[in-house]
Structure 1
Amino acid sequence: MRERIPHEIAASVLAASTAFIGGTALNLPPWAIFISWAGTFLAGGPSLPVARRLWAAMPAGSFFALLIVLVTQRIGDGLGPGRAAQDTVLAGVILVVNTALMYAGRLRLFSLVPGMFLGFASYFATFFGGFGFAPGNPWAAWLSVVAMNALGPVFAHLAGRLTFPVPDVRTAAADDAPLSPAAR
C-alpha cells in the first residue's frame, strides 16, 4: 500500500488534536492517549482484536493502581507518621496489589499484562499529576484515564486511515501474477 499523505503527517495532526480533547474544561490527560496508542503498536498494530485486549487490560491495570491509592489513603500512616513508616505500608500494599494484578494476568481477558502495566502507570500519572475532572479524587482520576486510554487504539487506527492508502499498482500487479510451475 502506498500512502497519499505521509503517516508522519497524519499521526502528527492527530497528536496535535489531543490538546483539545478534554482540554482545560475537564483537565483530562491527553498524554494517556499516547500511552495506549504506542501500546497498540507494541501489541501488534491497529486491529479490533488488539484494541479489545487493550480496552480490557488497561482499565484493569488502572483499577489496581486505584486500589493502591485508596488503601494507602486509608492506612498509609498505620505504622506511624514518619516517612519510613509510610513507605513500609506503601511497600506492603504494592506487594499485595501488584501480586493480584499479576495473577489477574492469568485470566484470558487480562492476559495482556504489559497493557495492565500501561494502565497502572497511566493512572498514577493522572492521579499524582493532578489530572482528571476532579483533581485529587481517586475515582475521577480513574474515569479520566480510562476514557483517555480508550482513545489510543482509535487514534492508532485513524492514523493509518488518514494516510488515505491506495494499492501500489506495481506491487498489486506482482501479487496477481500467476505462479510459475517451480513456485507452485
Structure 2
Amino acid sequence: MRERLPHEIVASVLAGLTAFLGGNALHLPPWAVFLSWAAVFLLGGPRGDRAVRLWCAMPAGSAFALVIVLVERHAGGAFGEGQTARNAFQALVILVVNTALMYTGRLGVLVPGMFLGFASYFATFFGGFGYDPGNPWAAWLCVVAMNALGPVFAHLSTRLTFPVREAAPARADAPVTGADAA
C-alpha cells in the first residue's frame, strides 16, 4: 500500500489534536491516548479485534489500580501511622492486588494491556488529572475514556493517509498473447 499522505504527518496532526482533549475544563490526560495508540501498533496494527482486546484489558487494569488507591485511602493506617508502617501496608496491598491482576490477565492473555491501564490510572490519579483531581473514581473514568481513544486514533492514523494499492509491476518475461499484441 502506498500512502497519499505520509503517516508521520497524519499521526502528528492527530497527536496535536489531543491538546484539545486535555487542555479543557475536564483536564483529561492526553498521554493516555498515546499509550493505547502505541499498544495497538505493538499488537501488530489497527484491527477491530485488537482494539476490542485493549478496550477490555486497559479498563480492567485501571480498575485494579483503583482498588489499590481505595484500599490505601480507607485502610492505609492499618499497620500504624508511621511511614514505614504505611509503606509495609501499601506493599502488601500491591502484592495481593497485582497478583490478582496477573492471574486475571491469564484468562484472555490481557496482562500487557492491563499493565498499561494500571500505569495509566496511577499517572492520572497521582498526576492530578481529571475533572475532579484527587477523586479516585473521576480519575478512573477519565483514564478509561482517554485509553479508549487510542485504538481510534491508531485506526485514523492509518486510514487518513488515504492508502492506495500499488499496481503490480508488469513482468518482462510474461508471454505475449494475441490480445496483448493488438
Partner of 2:48: 48
Partner of 2:153: 155
Whether 2:139 is the aligned partner of 1:102: answer no
Letter of the aligned partner of 1:103 in structure 2?
Y
- Aligned positions, number: 173
Which secondary structure state, in structure 2, belongs to the residue aligned with residue 79 of structure 1? coil
Structure 2: gaps of 5 or more residues: 175-182
Which secondary structure state, in structure 1, belongs to the residue aligned with residue 25 of structure 2? helix
1:83: Cα distance to partner?
1.1
Which secondary structure state, in structure 2, belongs to the residue aligned with residue 26 of structure 1? coil
How many Å separate the matches in 1 of 2:117 and 2:34? 12
Decide which moves more: 28-37 or 15-24: 15-24
Percent of matched pairs sharing the same residue:
71
Letter of the aligned partner of 2:78 in structure 1?
G
Which secondary structure state, in structure 2, belongs to the residue aligned with residue 131 of structure 1? coil
Structure 1: gaps of 5 or more residues: 178-184
Whether 2:131 is the aligned partner of 1:138: answer no
1:110-169 CA deviation, whole Å, 9 max, x = no partner? Answer: x22100000000000000000011110000000000000000000000000111111112
1:24: Cα distance to partner?
2.2
1:39-94 CA deviation, whole Å, 9 max, x = no partner? Answer: 11111210000000000000000000000000000111111111111100000000
Q: Which of residues 115, 123, 126 in structure 2 aligns to 1:125?
A: 123
Which secondary structure state, in structure 2, belongs to the residue aligned with residue 167 of structure 1? coil
Decide which moves more: 17-26 or 60-69: 17-26
Letter of the aligned partner of 1:138 in structure 2?
P
How many Å separate the matches in 1 of 2:21 and 2:74? 33
Bigger radius of gyration among the two: 2
How many Å separate the matches in 2 of 1:59 and 1:23? 23
Which secondary structure state, in structure 1, belongs to the residue aligned with residue 24 of structure 2? helix
Partner of 1:77: 77
Letter of the aligned partner of 1:132 in structure 2?
G
Whether 2:23 is the aligned partner of 1:11: answer no
Whether 2:20 is the aligned partner of 1:20: answer yes
How many Å separate the matches in 2 of 1:22 and 1:117? 22
Which secondary structure state, in structure 2, belongs to the residue aligned with residue 25 of structure 1? coil
Letter of the aligned partner of 1:81 in structure 2?
E
- CA RMSD in angstroms comes to 1.5
**Structure 1 segments of 4 or more deviating over 6 A?**
none
Partner of 1:180: none
Letter of the aligned partner of 2:5 in structure 1?
I
How many Å separate the matches in 1 of 2:115 and 2:56? 12
Letter of the aligned partner of 1:150 in structure 2?
A
How many Å separate the matches in 2 of 1:45 and 1:73? 39
1:22: Cα distance to partner?
4.3
